């Protein structure tokens, strides 16, 4: 059976050019990038090339990047590091109700240390109102953290507007850019943010390689202690092959961004319109400006998990929420936050497209979704009686 992958927001496969560079690094670059001999210097060169290419993707100076293991670590370092660097004894953090668990979990951890957290609500659009962020500010606010693109809906947040508010208030601003970098143009200087998290495995680099942009002058404490790597912000022997892959993937993403974004938008719209035309009682969640590759659709009367399994049996990989929380029976916190009733949140699927998808695959997916939804609805007493 042919299998088709429509879950690129969970992770992406390593692209051929990235694989080639990573294998070459594993084979030919055995040194520790901190060693002063030939092998160490060769590794250092590769590390710095990867860093420069990654920096170019988000338009920062390569010296402002901390290389680390991925989005969760970047979010933890940014949030905990910036809040702990705050001088006052009473501290407050502003975030939103639709963040990824990497941010919400870190904020919950800070709450256990008596740091207060405001989770700003979002409307049905899936987009936070910057004025709500302004209203949440307190004299003791130590950090604002808001995601750039939502992982479940793809909705884009008004980062530039929030950055202006943060700057006026003199509060550092962190952005979880894990679902934005590589999909839409990102210019951290133009956006005016202080901290920005990215993760390579969302744009065809290997898992376990990511970066945190830290604007020069931003105060941030380290969370780990050891050697002097990454300007003492993230000690530990550098993952040279991972950074080589990260850099190469960043370069490819940057070169192909405009063309791929246009292609994926057309493909996503084809999928969305195909499903909406063919299937009754379904609709798009959070229909605001979104990343080109993402759509989230509810199908009344079905269980999202059952539809994921039905589609998997037909060879299509999709998701009923973020990969980090799948397996839980709780409906998605993002869908609840935008006002969906729990049964509709449980009846929703995320489709996230990527490089390997084409028109034919999308048409086959539409057929499979239509068949599976019709079949599951036949078995559903609630839908039949609705
Ligand atoms: N932030 C967002 C918005 C994400 O979508 C993810 C992963 O799904 C993460 C953070 C965590 O990134 P990583 O898997 O690299 O730890």
230 close to ligand 1 (CB < 6 Angstrom): no
What's the pLDDT score for residue 267?
98
Q: Which two tokens stand for residue 55?
A: 């920096």
Q: Percent of the chain, pLDDT > 70? A: 97
Joined together, the tokens standing for residue 333 give 């916190």
CA of 207 to the centre of ligand 1 (A): 11
- Beta-carbon contacts of residue 115 (< 8 Å; ≥ 6 apart): 83, 91, 92, 93, 142
Tens digit of pLDDT for each residue in 14-36? 999 999 999 999 999 999 999 99
Atom of ligand 1 nearest to the CA of 322: 8
Query: Would you state the pLDDT for residue 327?
Result: 54
pLDDT at position 383: 79
- From the list 3, 2, 5, 1, the residue with the least C-alpha distance to 351 is 5
Measure the CA angle with vertex 332, ends 321 and 346; round to 5°: 85
Q: Which of 60, 107, 282, 324 is catalytic?
A: 324
Q: Assess contact for 83 and 115: CB atoms under 8 A.
A: yes
Ligand 1 lined by 102 (C-beta under 6 Å): yes
pLDDT category at 86 given cuts 50, 70, 90 is confident
Q: What is the pLDDT of residue 322?
A: 47
- What is the pLDDT at residue 102? 98
Q: Report the pLDDT averaged over residues 148-153.
A: 98
CB 322 within 8 A of CB 202: no
To which residue do tokens 């905990």 refer? Answer: 80
Ligand 1 centre distance from Cα of residue 381 (Å): 37
Provide the CA 322 distance to its chain's centre, in angstroms: 10
**CA of 178 relative to ligand 1 center, distance in Å:** 6
CB of residue 70 inside a 6 A radius of ligand 1: yes
pTM over the 0.75 mark: yes
Query: Which atom of ligand 1 lies at the shortest distance from residue 147's CA?
Result: 3
pLDDT 10s digits, 220-243: 999 999 999 999 999 999 999 999
In the sheet where 141-147 sits, what is the strand order?
Answer: 65-68, 210-214, 195-199, 173-176, 141-147, 92-96, 116-120
Residue 324: active-site member: yes
Task: DSSP letter for 37, please.
Answer: S
How many angstroms is it from 295 CA to the middle of ligand 1? 17
Determine how many CB atoms are found less than 10 A away from the CB of residue 280.
11
Ligand 1: nearest atom to the Cα of 70: 15
At 28, phi and psi to the nearest 5? -105, -10
Rounded-to-integer distance, Cα 179 and Cα 11, Å = 10
Measured in degrees and rounded to the nearest 5, phi and psi for residue 72 equal -65, -45
Burial tier of 48 (Cβ tally within 10 Å: 0-12, 13-18, 19+) = middle
Mean pLDDT in residue range 263-291 = 97
Mean pLDDT of 95-106: 98
Identify the residue whose tokens are 């950055």: 163
291: helix, strand or coil? coil
């Amino acid at each position: 059976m042919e299998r088709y992958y429509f879950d690129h927001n969970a992770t992406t496969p390593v692209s051929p050019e990235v694989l080639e560079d990573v294998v070459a690094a594993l084979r030919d670059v055995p040194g520790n990038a901190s060693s002063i001999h030939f092998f160490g210097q060769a590794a250092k060169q590769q590390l710095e090339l990867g860093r420069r290419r990654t920096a170019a993707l988000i338009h920062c100076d390569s010296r402002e990047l901390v290389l680390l293991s991925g989005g969760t670590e970047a979010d933890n370092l940014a949030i905990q590091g910036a809040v702990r660097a705050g001088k006052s004894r009473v501290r407050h953090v502003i975030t939103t109700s639709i963040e990824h668990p990497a941010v919400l979990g870190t904020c919950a951890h800070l709450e256990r240390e008596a740091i207060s957290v405001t989770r700003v609500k979002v409307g049905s659009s899936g987009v936070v109102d910057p004025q709500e962020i302004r209203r949440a500010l307190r004299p003791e606010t130590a950090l604002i953290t808001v995601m750039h693109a939502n992982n479940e809906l793809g909705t884009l947040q008004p980062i530039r507007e929030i950055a202006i508010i943060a700057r006026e208030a003199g509060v550092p601003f962190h952005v979880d850019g894990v679902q934005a970098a590589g999909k839409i143009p990102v210019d951290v200087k133009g956006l005016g943010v202080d901290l920005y998290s990215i993760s390579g495995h969302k744009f065809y680099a290997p898992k376990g390689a990511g970066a945190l942009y830290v604007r020069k002058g931003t105060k941030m404490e380290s969370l780990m202690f050891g050697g002097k790597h990454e300007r003492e912000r993230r000690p530990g022997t550098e993952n040279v092959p991972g950074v080589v892959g990260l850099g190469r993937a960043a370069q490819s993403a940057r070169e192909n961004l405009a063309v791929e974004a246009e292609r994926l938008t057309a493909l996503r719209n084809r999928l969305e319109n195909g499903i909406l035309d063919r299937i009754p009682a379904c609709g798009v969640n959070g229909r605001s400006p979104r990343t080109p590759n993402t759509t989230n659709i509810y199908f009344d009367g079905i269980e999202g998990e059952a539809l994921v399994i039905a589609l998997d049996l037909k060879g299509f990989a999709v998701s009923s929420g973020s990969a980090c929380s799948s397996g839980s029976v709780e409906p998605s916190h993002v869908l609840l936050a935008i006002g969906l009733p729990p049964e509709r949140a449980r009846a929703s699927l995320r489709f996230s497209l990527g490089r390997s998808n084409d028109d034919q695959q999308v048409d086959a997916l539409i057929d499979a979704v239509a068949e599976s939804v019709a079949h599951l609805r036949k078995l559903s007493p609630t839908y039949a009686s609705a």
